[in-house]
Structure 1
Amino acid sequence: MIRKEFPDGWAVCKVAEAGDAISGQQKTPAASLAPEQYPYLRVANVFDDEIDLSDLATMNFSSEAREKYRLKDGDVLLCEGQSRELVGRAAVYRGELEELFFQNSIIRFRPHKEILPEYALLVFRAYQKEGVFSQIAKATTNIAHLGLNRFKSLPFPIPPRAIQELLADTARVFQERVDTARHVLAESVPDLDFLVRNFRDQVIIGDRDPEEESFPSEADPSWVTAAEAVAPDAPIVYGILQPGPDVEDGTGVPYVQQQDLQNGEVTEGQLRNTSVAVHEKFSRSAIASGDVLLGIIRNTRVAVVPPELDGGNINRGIARLRPREDLESEYLAHWLSSHWVQGWLSDRMRGIDMPGLNLRDVRQLPVPIPKVTEQRRQVNLINQVVDKANEARAALVESQQHLLKTEVLTIAGLAYGDLARTISQSLSNSMTGVETQNLVNRMLERQSSVKAPAKKKTSQVRKTGEMSAEGGVANADNLLQILKSSGGRISPAELYRSMRLEDDAVDDFYALLRDLSKDGRIDIDRPDDELVFVTIGAPS
């Protein structure tokens, strides 16, 4: 049973009492092959606070199913099946398409009118980020399932409508800033890589065009092929074809795979180990400290073998280049990492599903070999920039992690935590307890009426601004008259009391405030974090 501490004065009900929650239609071969196809949302379309409509799948929905599963503006959608850390990922549908439905991997929560959709989204995002959904989810293989009934049984906090709106608006402003910061941080990493590549190319290549350089001759020995840039007794080779099962008893030999080449280094912590027998069978591809490794399948990452891996091996996705005596390892690694070489290698990739380089092409790669002193000078310049870039990259990663933690804490804080308590207390004059209890009572009455339909009552349909003040119903003329008589400035709580509204008119009251505010007939003035006033709008 999930228990949460919600702000004092708030009411609490179950998710099932706060709105209608259902799962979507299951996809079947018959639905996929039927002539009439309709677009629907699946997990691949629902992200955190975002719905992607660029890639919609289709299937058939009967007329009854279309009525049941058609999405409406304000529906909150949650991923029912997802990895455990992402299960319950939620977003609000904004009615972008005239007809759109949803699959059974999605839960649709349609809040009752007492609950603001944006506030419901805030609560569910907080549940997802704090791990509430993952805690109740049931896992099968790699997929965790939220479960409709488990979801409907969760507690749902209910602040007054005015507080719901303020919390949701605050969360929206915060999220926009987070998204902007996240975008800037994400874009900064490739920008760093671009700067490093450009600087490296300028240092090593300058204004020369490697395609026009002549290959080794007595007149021009400065350019050679890669096959001639390696030690005579260590030709360019790739590694083990089938390393076999991982040896974990301490007797194995570590070998490097492509995924182990990261940011110009070999990530030793995750290396796998093959048997001594397999290693000896492929002794020709054994690696030594200072060897340069080049990825040749899918990517062409580069790294220099550290002393700790002397005597190890590589798999078939990596080519080993052991520099000859007059060629510095770091210089060769920088050359292979240059923008020009990476483009040269990419142009020679073959294959679609698993593009790769032929070693024959690698051996033909042009390699400039200046004097060793010049190589070291260039390496020193490039390393200074690379070190600074790595420091900046580490700072960016740390900032991304900090931003993520801040997002989790703030979203939960605004949904029902300390921030929500502070905001709720600052609006303590808005009859919090009475309003929230009325909200709960009306939702419970609605639930009861579904189970046992009450007798029909004759009701009169009214439009906003045309509601009668008699019987305690919100009325625009009455509201504006009271506002003028108060001097054009009054708190929402005092205005509510002065209108002598019935208890169940709370939602109509705040809906009327929103409509009049949009029309410019009133303004909402917040002089500080604690006070809120309704004022007469500026004449247009």
Structure 2
Amino acid sequence: MSQLPKNWSSIQLKNLLSFVLGGDWGKDADYQDDDFETVFCIRGTEFKNWSKEKGITSVERKVKKASAQKRALKLGDILVEISGGGPEQPVGRTVLIDEDALKHNSNYPKVCTNFIRLARPSDSIDSRYLNYYLRSFYASGEVVNYQGGSNNLRNLKFKEYETIEVPIAPQSEQKRIADKLDSVLTKVETAQVRLDKIPTILKRFRQSVLAAATSGELTKNWRESNGLEDWEHVKLKDVGKGFNYGSSTKSQSEGKIPVLRMGNLQGGKLDWEKLVFTSDEAEIEKYKLQPGDVLFNRTNSPELVGKTSIYRGEREAIFAGYLIKVQGTDKLDAEYLNIQLNSSHARDYCWAVKTDGVSQSNINAKKLQAYEFELPSIEEQIEIIRVVTELLSSADLVEKQYKAAKLRVDKMTHSILAIAFSGKLFSPISEEDRVAVTVKTQNSEPQHNQPKAIDKEPDQQTEVVSKTVNKSSNEQASEVFQLLKKNSKGMSAQALFDAQSENTFNAIDDLFSELKKLIEQEMVIQAGEGENCTFKATKK
């Protein structure tokens, strides 16, 4: 643990808990026994959307009355996940039982499942503060050192977990830190919720583009202005060719060229990750792909069978047996075929004609050949390809920006928590700043608007209320401005936030308030928008 502020201490988790007990899954809700009573049981499933739902999906169960009495959750309790997790999600997540969590089905006791441990904080520590620290510990990745079990089901070694050292601020500071984290992390979670809507919006946009492209709506005006004929109703077998199955030979983890499989077909394009290979010359000669070959997934789960992508010659490759290769002709452009087979019309056809097995569905080449659709002239196909490519490229750019933004926001919670428990969430007021700030203390009232120097006792909690807006003072006192002066090419808000981790503006809202003030004073200018937005110090 890094060095803590002078008035902080470090205490093992077990010494901060007054009560620890495992959960009880009990019996089914319709179980009849006078010694049992109805409870609502919180599972690990509820943890994922806890900040929004607060356990509203908890399950009705029956447990012994004595067990319910011992395990009934109370305000301020912390639930620790002790079993579950997996390769991408370590065990050890925590949630706090607050008033909102207790409101759901309030006529019945709340308990946790036996995959969760009830940990009740003692009166010596603020329960929100402790839960935030446990979240910070989990986000740091250190929790993996306290887990065991298999790769798919992991267990928290709770006795060892209880020995972790918790940084302890004075109690008044604990509440202040918890209040600030409540405020700041709510904003971060709001940003996460908004970002999480973007994939659905992009999916609908892409589907709408393909639907308009294959129905004629997308190029209606272009078609009329060019005097082209209406579309022709065709079967794929009459305008396409090939319909070949791929290689059934077992692939290898290494080899001369990749073998494309159904997992490599993603959203009309090829994903070149997670490849297998072959070095068999006969196989390569027989199944080698040519630019423009369209690959149709003939065997997959019911919802994925029929997905299609086009090979554009990115690198040498052959294709596996669960795929069908279709090629264009002088009447059917291969790029347009790829658009057509990814449309909702094609998806509906696949759903209707698939043959369902135990866990997979199949669409053979004969059924693919029988697919019927409306075919525009080759000239209009080329125009459709052009417009669709532009629109989907825009969607791809938005998706790239979304992924970058989500990565930053996801990291932000850990960064903020780490700052909080290093004692740097609230920076102390320097001697140089004393004459430029108005401070409020626990037992004082502001007297005038004029800034005044106030003596500060070592144990008093102080908070900056306002700084003088004199430009020369800002140039000296603003760490943000000094950083921008040193970086003539400008800095993003994320870069500024990272650079300020040990200085005055650690909180997100403080950083943006400072930037806004500097822009209003024409000391800083904003360049660009969105992901590419940077801030630069003016040359005045």
- TM > 0.5 fold call: yes
After TM superposition, list the pairs within 5 Å mapping 1:362-441 onto structure 2.
Answer: 362-414=368-420, 416-417=421-422, 419-420=424-425, 422=427
CA distance in 1, matches of 2:6, 2:463: 25
CA distance in 1, matches of 2:113, 2:8: 34
What is the SS of the residue equivalent to 1:78? strand
Shift of 1:192: 2.5
Q: Which runs of 4+ in 1 moved over 6 A?
A: 28-34, 423-426, 486-489
The equivalent residue for 1:322 is 327
What is the SS of the residue equivalent to 2:465? coil
The equivalent residue for 2:363 is 358
**2:252 paired with 1:247:** yes
**2:184 paired with 1:174:** yes
Is the 1:47–1:89 contact (alpha carbons within 8 Å) kept by the matching residues of 2?
A: no
Is the 1:261–1:302 contact (alpha carbons within 8 Å) kept by the matching residues of 2?
A: yes
The equivalent residue for 2:318 is 312
Is the 1:222–1:369 contact (alpha carbons within 8 Å) kept by the matching residues of 2?
A: yes
Query: Which of structures 1 and 2 has the bigger CA Rg?
Result: 1
Change (3 A) 1:44 1:71: same
Question: CA deviation digits over 1:164-206, x for unaligned, max 9?
Answer: 1221121122222112211222212332332233233334422
The equivalent residue for 1:273 is 277
CA distance in 2, matches of 1:278, 1:116: 70
After TM superposition, list the pairs within 5 Å mapping 1:40-59 onto structure 2.
Answer: 40-47=41-48, 50=51, 53-57=55-59
**2:82 paired with 1:80:** yes
CA distance in 1, matches of 2:350, 2:61: 44
The equivalent residue for 2:514 is none
Change (3 A) 1:305 1:27: same
Equivalent residue for 1:527, pick from 437, 441, 465: 465
Q: Give 1 or 2: higher helix fraction.
A: 1
Is the 2:24–2:67 contact (alpha carbons within 8 Å) kept by the matching residues of 1?
A: no
Change (3 A) 1:345 1:140: closer
Is the 1:48–1:89 contact (alpha carbons within 8 Å) kept by the matching residues of 2?
A: no
Is the 1:21–1:148 contact (alpha carbons within 8 Å) kept by the matching residues of 2?
A: no
Shift of 1:89: 1.2
Change (3 A) 1:309 1:322: farther
Give unmatched runs, 5+ long, in structure 1.
209-218, 427-481, 498-509, 511-523, 531-540
The one-letter amino acid of 1:134's match is V
What is the SS of the residue equivalent to 2:296? strand
The equivalent residue for 2:266 is 262
Is the 1:225–1:365 contact (alpha carbons within 8 Å) kept by the matching residues of 2?
A: yes
Shift of 1:17: 1.2
Change (3 A) 1:176 1:150: same
Equivalent residue for 2:136, pick from 126, 133, 136: 126
Change (3 A) 1:423 1:159: farther
Give unmatched runs, 5+ long, in structure 2.
219-228, 432-441, 448-453, 468-503, 505-540
Shift of 1:225: 0.8
The equivalent residue for 2:307 is 301
Is the 1:48–1:90 contact (alpha carbons within 8 Å) kept by the matching residues of 2?
A: no
Question: CA deviation digits over 1:397-446, x for unaligned, max 9?
Answer: 111001111121012212x12533627999xxxxxxxxxxxxxxxxxxxx
**2:150 paired with 1:152:** no
CA distance in 2, matches of 1:26, 1:99: 12
Change (3 A) 1:206 1:265: same
Q: Give 1 or 2: higher strand fraction.
A: 2
Shift of 1:247: 1.5
Question: CA deviation digits over 1:234-263, x for unaligned, max 9?
Answer: 2x35545x654x413426x63323221123
Equivalent residue for 1:228, pick from 238, 247, 253: 238
Change (3 A) 1:221 1:180: closer
TM-score (norm 1): 0.68
The equivalent residue for 1:22 is 20
Is the 1:167–1:420 contact (alpha carbons within 8 Å) kept by the matching residues of 2?
A: yes
**2:9 paired with 1:11:** yes
Task: State how many pairs are aligned.
Answer: 422
CA distance in 2, matches of 1:330, 1:419: 56
Change (3 A) 1:185 1:163: same
The one-letter amino acid of 2:345's match is W
Change (3 A) 1:346 1:425: farther
CA distance in 1, matches of 2:134, 2:297: 44
Q: Which moved more, 1:405-414 or 1:343-352?
A: 343-352
Shift of 1:32: 11
Equivalent residue for 1:67, pick from 66, 69, 77: 69
Is the 1:19–1:110 contact (alpha carbons within 8 Å) kept by the matching residues of 2?
A: yes
CA distance in 2, matches of 1:488, 1:382: 63
CA distance in 2, matches of 1:39, 1:278: 63
Structure 1 vs Structure 2 CA RMSD: 4.0
**2:199 paired with 1:189:** yes
CA distance in 1, matches of 2:143, 2:21: 16
CA distance in 2, matches of 1:397, 1:406: 14
Q: Which has the higher contact order (CA 8 A, sep 6+)?
A: 1
Change (3 A) 1:20 1:357: same
Is the 1:45–1:53 contact (alpha carbons within 8 Å) kept by the matching residues of 2?
A: yes
**2:102 paired with 1:101:** no
CA distance in 2, matches of 1:77, 1:335: 51
Change (3 A) 1:287 1:72: same
Question: CA deviation digits over 1:266-301, x for unaligned, max 9?
Answer: 112312236849958x95x76433211223433143
Is the 2:336–2:385 contact (alpha carbons within 8 Å) kept by the matching residues of 1?
A: yes
After TM superposition, list the pairs within 5 Å mapping 1:508-523 onto structure 2.
Answer: none
Equivalent residue for 1:291, pick from 293, 311, 335: 293
Change (3 A) 1:52 1:358: farther
What is the SS of the residue equivalent to 1:419? coil
Is the 2:39–2:63 contact (alpha carbons within 8 Å) kept by the matching residues of 1?
A: yes
The one-letter amino acid of 1:391's match is L
**2:344 paired with 1:346:** no
